[in-house]
Amino acid sequence: MNIEPSESKEIFNSQRLPKVRYPAVSILSAILNVIAWIGAAVFVIWFIVSLAKAIDWDSSTMKLASFGKLLTGVVWFIFGKAISELLIVFSDISISAREILIHLNERDSKE
């Protein structure tokens, strides 16, 4: 198998390659993105409410717990966004690997 890079861009311009874009993965990624934002908003609201109660009751333990809720919201948001982006990256890797494999098979059949 010859795996030297080609000079042309026929791998991307080939009319024979079916377009594979995984729309379900894009939808899942968008849903996870929305869930991450909603979760972050819920945790921020929860933080504000619990901090207001802690200040009203003058409890240092509750103040600390309310900052824990804020930290949980940040972690929720980061993981939600990371998983959303990973789905997009994995689908892009799959598309690229498929195109490379088809290209290599075409080159091997010509030789």
Quote the CA–CA distance of 97 and 74 in Å, as a whole number.
34
Question: What is the value of pTM for the model shown?
Answer: 0.67
Q: Identify which of 26, 9, 3, 28 has the alpha carbon closest to the alpha carbon of residue 104.
A: 3
**Which region among 59-63, 81-85, 97-101 has the lowest average model confidence (pLDDT)?**
59-63
> Which pair of structure tokens corresponds to residue 31?
């849903």
- 3-class DSSP state for residue 2? coil
The C-alpha torsion from 39 through 45 and 51 to 56, rounded to 10°, is -150
5 pLDDT higher than 80:
no
Each residue of 74-92: pLDDT tens digit? 999 999 999 999 998 988 8
6 pLDDT higher than 60:
no
